[in-house]
Amino acid sequence: MKPLLEVRDLVTGFGRVRVVDGVSFRVAAGETYALLGESGCGKSITALSLMRLLPDGGRVISGSVQLGETDVLALPERDMRRVRGGQMAMIFQEPMLALNPVIKVGEQIGEALALHQNLAGQAARDAARGLLDAVGVPDAVRRLDTYPFELSGGLRQRVMIAMALAGRPQLLIADEPTTALDVTIQAQVLDVLRGLKAEQQMGMLLITHDLGVVAENADRVGVMYAGELVEEGARDAFFASPQHPYSRMLFEALPRPGDGGRLVTIPGQVPPLDGPMRGCRFAPRCPHAVARCRAESPGWQVIGDQRVRCHLAGALPARSKRELTAHSVKQAAQPLLQVDGLKVHFPIRRGLIQRTVGHVRAVDGVSLDIRAGRTLALVGESGCGKTTVGKALLRLIEPTVGSIVLGGETMTAKNARTLRRQAQMVFQDPFSSLNPRMRVADILLEGMDALGVGAAGERRDAVVQLLRQVGLPDDAGGRYPHAFSGGQRQRIAIARALAVSPRLVICDEPTSALDVSVQAQILNLLKDLQDSLGLAYLFITHNLAVVDYLAHEVAVMYLGRIVEHGAAADVLRAPRHPYTQALVSAVPRIEAQTGPGIIRLAGDQPSPLNPPDGCHFNPRCPHAMEVCRQTYPEQTELGEGHWVRCHWVAGQT
């Protein structure tokens, strides 16, 4: 049977640099082909080559791309415009950058409908509404007249999918379509894509570095490394027995439920493609490499339902099991951090005299404590108030109400500067939080100088020690942030937080944008630092796999309040609150899942400007009762520090 898409020996370059080097694969109608690999391996450039949307300086050097009966690379640009969207469409990674912020959603979808279906006026509006309904956008008629910035991340991604489907394409390319989304929204978006693919028999090229997403959605898998395809096969065969050492190490780098051991990391980085390539491109990082690997580029070998580019294919040792290590820390008698009744309300002002007409209740009564050497994970969907809690604890945002006791001393506006030495923050995006005009050494010295840490003559030596402590070379201090990879920049951000010798570190999504291999390095580093320095962590994230690996306790937030709290094993293995159950069920896993499957939540998270009466979760809760709509639930103790706020659970205990 002839494939829908056939790519043969595709080579794409920027000047003399071959970013994609001899890639070949096929995608059949109704099939999902997943392209997997670290950042910098050439996945997105492959997709842009298929669409002929390469950035300036990029060009397809050789190869062929056959879409049905169409030779894509031979088409003049005028005809290619009909192919884009009409036969082949793409969902980009960041919808806010791909959507025009000053054009309403309905008009943007209408452009695609006019080009590919010759629809205009009311007919185009009706078709656009039908597309939004098809991808699960609630209140589609109203959403047509909204701007992209008025929508949540999940809704913007659905609008992108609707635009991609407007031309009824045969092939859909999804480039990291769920990377920045919460697990619940990710599950909804992937469910929409699976349903549409089955209904319309589209082929799909899914680009991702998330093995869980691949396991749940792909039919076949291709693994890319340094511009080359190094392994390919059916999903079940690939997950049962990955053949390439790179594929195996990606699996080993994943945090596993209940595994407190050290994560396997891949040493080094993806090699720069502007230098000479000899032998296997993975050889410098491969623990099994022999002399032949460094001298001779491997050809394809077929093993069952898989093919692999490796000289040692079929002769590799059995997959190793990670050594498990007990991770226990003696608890201090008193919590290092105690937070009671924390509220952060932002006023809404309107009119000429800026009169306050309401408040956004970003944080609405949070209480928690963290002991030295322990990690409390704060989890929940975007917009629930997690980051606001972290910033309020450092008084980077002034709390409205509540007390914060750090190291036995109540934090106030007067002593916040002094106490800030005990608590530091690692931000989500290290590139935007590091000053691009300052060298790394000066970035680390800035906090030490401001808070008077150590003698002036000793601080330079302390910087060198800090860099070594976080696994960076001694000469890193003389370089600027742009000279480092994403994982290295995050290490710099961690070093900056440690520079003033804090006792508490607040980590705000520190691994959300990192590849699984780099994520493993950062998680290992955080755990090592906690063991050696006795640090306490408040770990803010929506990645429950990371929580399971790193955290001792978990607090689940919804719309400004904590709805469930307990030991990580209790909350993640036996969640009791309906919201926590939905979060846990939505996590993509590489193992086969048992049980009821993903719990679908109705609608979107309400606005903190006008939260629902009673339990804030009641409009989306499958177990909501009349009492849930009237009164906010009290705390129900479940034993050993595990508690929830839920009328339904209270009625069962």
Distances (CA, A) of 50 to 15, 87, 292: 19, 12, 34
Among 53-57, 100-104, 346-350, 454-458, whose mean pLDDT is lowest?
454-458
Structure tokens at 345: 């309300």
3-state secondary structure 235-288: HHHHHHCCCCHHHHHHHHCCCCCCCCCCCCCCCCCCCCCCCCCCCCCCHHHCCC
3-state secondary structure 401-417: EEEEEECCEECCCCCHH
Per-residue pLDDT band for 328 (boundaries 50, 70, 90) equals very low
Looking at residues 487-516, what average pLDDT do you find? 87
Per-residue pLDDT band for 344 (boundaries 50, 70, 90) equals very high
Residue with tokens 């049962």, as numbered in its chain? 240
- Predicted TM-score (pTM) of this structure: 0.79
Secondary structure (DSSP) of 181-199: S-HHHHHHHHHHHHHHHHH
Please give the residue that has the higher pLDDT: either 569 or 191.
569
What pLDDT score was predicted for residue 596? 62
For the cut 90, the answer to whether the pLDDT of residue 196 exceeds it is no
Backbone φ and ψ for 423, nearest 5 degrees, come out as -135, 130
Distance CA 551, CA 528 (A): 14
Distance CA 252, CA 246 (A): 10
- Find out whether 383 and 605 touch, Cβ atoms under 8 Å: yes
For the cut 80, the answer to whether the pLDDT of residue 152 exceeds it is no
Distance CA 288, CA 280 (A): 12
- Find out whether 612 and 606 touch, Cβ atoms under 8 Å: yes
Distance CA 265, CA 254 (A): 9
Provide the β-strand partners of residue 454: none
What pLDDT score was predicted for residue 332? 46
Looking at residues 241-263, what average pLDDT do you find? 82
Looking at residues 493-499, what average pLDDT do you find? 91
For the cut 70, the answer to whether the pLDDT of residue 326 exceeds it is no
Per-residue pLDDT band for 324 (boundaries 50, 70, 90) equals very low
- Find out whether 164 and 197 touch, Cβ atoms under 8 Å: no
Looking at residues 597-611, what average pLDDT do you find? 81
Distance CA 267, CA 282 (A): 11
Angle at 363 between CA 359 and CA 369, to 5 degrees: 155
What pLDDT score was predicted for residue 314? 84
For the cut 90, the answer to whether the pLDDT of residue 88 exceeds it is yes
Averaged pLDDT score across all residues of the chain: 88
Looking at residues 454-463, what average pLDDT do you find? 82
Distance CA 128, CA 137 (A): 11
Tell me if residue 2 falls in helix, strand or coil.
coil
For the cut 90, the answer to whether the pLDDT of residue 327 exceeds it is no
Residue with tokens 């009119």, as numbered in its chain? 351
What pLDDT score was predicted for residue 272? 79
**Residues 580-592 pLDDT 10s:** 999 998 888 777 6
- Find out whether 260 and 326 touch, Cβ atoms under 8 Å: yes
For the cut 60, the answer to whether the pLDDT of residue 594 exceeds it is no
Kindly list the strands in the beta sheet with 337-350, ordered across the sheet, starting from the edge strand earlier in the chain. 355-370, 337-350, 401-406, 409-410
**Residues 20-64 pLDDT 10s:** 999 999 999 999 999 998 888 899 999 999 999 998 899 999 999
**Residues 539-588 pLDDT 10s:** 998 888 889 889 999 999 999 999 999 999 999 999 999 999 999 988 88
What pLDDT score was predicted for residue 325? 42
**Residues 274-323 pLDDT 10s:** 777 889 999 999 999 999 999 999 999 999 889 999 999 888 887 655 44
Distance CA 348, CA 201 (A): 48
What pLDDT score was predicted for residue 488? 85
